[in-house]
Structure 1
Amino acid sequence: MGKEVLMPKLGLTMTKGKIVQWKKKEGDRVQEGEDLVIIETEKITTAVKAVASGILLKIYAKEGEEVPVGQIIAYIGEIGEKPPSLSTKPTLVSEQQQGQSTRIEEAKAISEVRASPRARRLAKEKGIDLVKIKGTGPGGMITEDDVIRELENIEKGVKFTATGLRVKEVIPMTAIRQEISRRMVQSLQTMAQVTLNIEINANSLVKIKNEVESKYSMKITYTDVLVKVVAKLIRSHPFLNATLEGDQIKIIEDVNIGIAVALDQGLIVPVIRNADIKPITEIVKESHELADKARENKLNPDEVTGGTFTISNLGMYDIDSFTPIINPPQTAILGVGRIRKAPVVIGDNISIGYVMLLSLTFDHRVLDGHTAAKFLKELTEILEDENRLRAFLS
């Protein structure tokens, strides 16, 4: 008997998935456990594996199509077996499309042309006859969107912005880009975010990073060093390893450090769990493996959830400093700028050394400025002291 392949639920908040690429076509033989289709969720792109061995008899969802969780997307059986038919197939309609359809249905034909001031101005600029346009606004009023649609009907294949500018290319937001957009807006709208900045003398950091790299004969990044140091230090600064739920501040037991990784389609944050108790060599190995999997779209949901504090390093892009946005439901994030040579004052002497800027953004609802400042100050002291830094990495 054949097996249905369903759109899996890969997280508590997942409601739909997008078909990116079928690895097999109808009629192909597949083996249980091999990659069958690549799907994209709001957080990750991953492969769905064949649930049985047999012939891929039917593909129900095309590439590019969004499918609700639990809906059949393929059927695997044997030659001669008839795959089930879908009597009804849910169609995902956006709220914007629903609203637009409602407005069109409610629009009434009237003898006098009624148009918004912006619609009139745009129509005049583009030489559009408002009489020929059916309005979709309240009571049949012609809106700016209606004029844009008329422009696109006149100039076939040409798209326009809301202000009537010609569009060179339209790039739909990927599910990952949409999720980043939603979460960053949510972060800024629901948290009282404050950022503290500090410049550190990075001479010891550069020296000890190179020393550890030579000791273990492995490539180590400054992010790897910071993951280890921050994870151990955060144990004595628990409010930076917390989450706010209602009117309760919940201090989290595990220290799971998220590392922001830039991808062409957006940003993703794989997580190193229990980083405070892992040796630096294991952190290096795990962080590099996670970064590679992120770039190859092979991360699984467990590897991008459960973070309690995030580090975002833009130093490789020669960025001196920036204001990082907290990754909900965490309460803090550390932004790391580039390490550069500059005049460094040590006592009463000036010499050429290395400096680096750190930016700590925290949720002021959970902790006050002095609490965040104490953490940043102690972190700076550790990074500037060879002996303390060496001890933290041992």
Structure 2
Amino acid sequence: MGKEVLMPKLGLTMTKGKIVQWKKKEGDRVQEGEDLVIIETEKITTTVKSPVSGILLKIYAKEGEEVPVGQIIAYIGEIGEQPPPSPTKPALATQQQQAQPIRTEEVKVIGEVRASPRARRLAKEKGIDLSKIRGTGPGGMITEDDVIRELENIEKGMKFTATGLRVKEVIPMSVIRQEISRRMVQSLQTMAQVTLSIEINANSLVKMKNEIESKYSMKITYTDILVKVVAKLLRDHPYLNATLEGDQIKIIEEVNIGIAVALDQGLIVPVIRNADTKPITEIAKESHELADKARENKLNPDEVSGGTFTISNLGMYDIDSFTPIINPPQTAILGVGRIRRAPVVVGDNISIGYIMWLSLTFDHRVMDGHTAAKFLKELTEILEDENKLRTFLS
């Protein structure tokens, strides 16, 4: 007997998913567990595997189509078997159905529109609203050529920005990009965000990275080291590992560090759970695996949820310092800049060493500046002191 493939529910808040790519076409044989379709939700892009072996008899949802959770998207059976009829699709607003923004030249002027008789006659014949045309004649008068250009633009499907500029290309926001946009605006509108920045001596950090890589013969990143140090330090700074619900500040028991990973379609933040209890080698292995899965669209919902603090490293793009935005419902995020060689003052001596900028954004509703500053100061002291850093990484 055949099997219906339904749009899965990959999270508590998921109501619909978008079909990104079918890995098989109608008539192909598929094996149970084989990649069937890539779908995109508000949080992740992931690959759905075939639930059974058989022939892909029917595909109900095309690539680019948004489908409600639980609706049939495909049917797998055997030759001669009759797939069910196409499901009734709810009315989903599409990019083409949405109203076009009004151009600045479409705003009606007070009084009669100034236009030549030939322009008026042609506009009347073609049903063109003269108030939507910008005149190029004397004193802004609309000429016949202006009306002809408007007709050509309509025929070409020409699009304009809200300020009247011609559009070369329209790129619809992906589901992930829309969710990032929504969450970032929500973050800035609902939190009192303040950012503290500090330049640190990164000599010990560079030395420790090389030492760990040599000892364990494995790739270690500066982010891996920061995940471990920050996670342990958060135990002594609970307000940075908390969430605000109503008028209650809830200190979270677990320390789960999110690592921002840049993808072509947007940013995603896989989470290393209980990072304060894991050795640096396990953190490095897990972070690399999560980053690979993110780039291959294979993360599952559990791997991108439950974070209590986030680290965003833009050092690989040669960024020195930036202002990170808190990932709701967390209360803080650490931005990490590049490590570069520069003059370093140690005591009364100047030498060439390594420096790095750290930027901590925190929610001022939950904590005051001195609380966040104390955390950043202690983090700096650990990273700059070889013995303290080695102790935190042990």
What TM-score results when the alignment is normalised by the length of structure 2? 0.87
* Cα 1:170/1:5, change in 2 over 3 Å: same
State the AA in 2 paired with 1:116. Answer: K
1:214 corresponds in structure 2 to 214
* Cα 1:130/1:238, change in 2 over 3 Å: farther
**1:310 shift after superposition:** 0.3
**1:166 shift after superposition:** 2.2
**1:47 shift after superposition:** 1.1
| CA distance in 2: counterparts of 1:190 and 1:271, whole angstroms | 23
Within the alignment, does 1:240 sit opposite 2:232 as a pair?
A: no
Higher mean C-alpha displacement, 51-60 vs 7-16: 51-60
* Cα 1:150/1:277, change in 2 over 3 Å: farther
Contact 1:152 1:160 in 2 (8 A): no
**1:88 shift after superposition:** 2.2
| CA distance in 1: counterparts of 2:336 and 2:172, whole angstroms | 31
**Secondary structure of 1:244 counterpart:** strand
1:271 corresponds in structure 2 to 271
**1:264 shift after superposition:** 1.4
Contact 1:152 1:159 in 2 (8 A): no
**Secondary structure of 2:365 counterpart:** coil
- 1:150-196 superposed Cα distances (whole Å, 9 cap, x missing partner): 67753515332222222222211111111111111111011000000
**1:342 shift after superposition:** 1.6
**1:259 shift after superposition:** 0.5
State the AA in 1 paired with 2:286. Answer: E
1:43 corresponds in structure 2 to 43
State the AA in 2 paired with 1:71. Answer: Q
State the AA in 2 paired with 1:231. Answer: A
| CA distance in 1: counterparts of 2:96 and 2:195, whole angstroms | 35
**1:116 shift after superposition:** 3.0
1:18 corresponds in structure 2 to 18
1:86 corresponds in structure 2 to 86
Contact 2:72 2:87 in 1 (8 A): no
2:108 corresponds in structure 1 to 116
Alignment of 1:110-149 (within 5 A): 115-117=107-109, 132-133=127-128
**1:142 shift after superposition:** 6.5
CA RMSD of aligned residues (A): 2.8
* Cα 1:186/1:288, change in 2 over 3 Å: same
Segments of 5+ residues of structure 1 without an aligned counterpart are 104-113, 136-140
**Secondary structure of 1:167 counterpart:** coil
2:61 corresponds in structure 1 to 61
1:106 corresponds in structure 2 to none
**1:263 shift after superposition:** 1.1
1:328 corresponds in structure 2 to 328
| CA distance in 2: counterparts of 1:134 and 1:14, whole angstroms | 43
**Secondary structure of 1:337 counterpart:** strand
* Cα 1:87/1:35, change in 2 over 3 Å: closer
**Secondary structure of 2:235 counterpart:** helix
**1:335 shift after superposition:** 0.3
Instruction: Give identity over the alignment, percent.
Output: 85
1:302 corresponds in structure 2 to 302
2:169 corresponds in structure 1 to 169
State the AA in 2 paired with 1:320. Answer: D
**1:76 shift after superposition:** 1.4
Contact 1:116 1:143 in 2 (8 A): no
- 1:322-355 superposed Cα distances (whole Å, 9 cap, x missing partner): 0000001110000001111222221222222211
* Cα 1:142/1:166, change in 2 over 3 Å: closer
Number of equivalences: 370
2:289 corresponds in structure 1 to 289
- 1:65-120 superposed Cα distances (whole Å, 9 cap, x missing partner): 1111111111112222211113522131169957x49x9xxxxxxxxxx95349x9
1:108 corresponds in structure 2 to none
1:317 corresponds in structure 2 to 317
State the AA in 2 paired with 1:85. Answer: P
**Secondary structure of 1:324 counterpart:** coil
1:110 corresponds in structure 2 to none
Segments of 5+ residues of structure 2 without an aligned counterpart are 135-146
| CA distance in 2: counterparts of 1:322 and 1:14, whole angstroms | 32
Alignment of 1:183-262 (within 5 A): 183-262=183-262
**1:219 shift after superposition:** 1.3
| CA distance in 2: counterparts of 1:155 and 1:363, whole angstroms | 51
**1:281 shift after superposition:** 0.3
| CA distance in 2: counterparts of 1:375 and 1:192, whole angstroms | 18
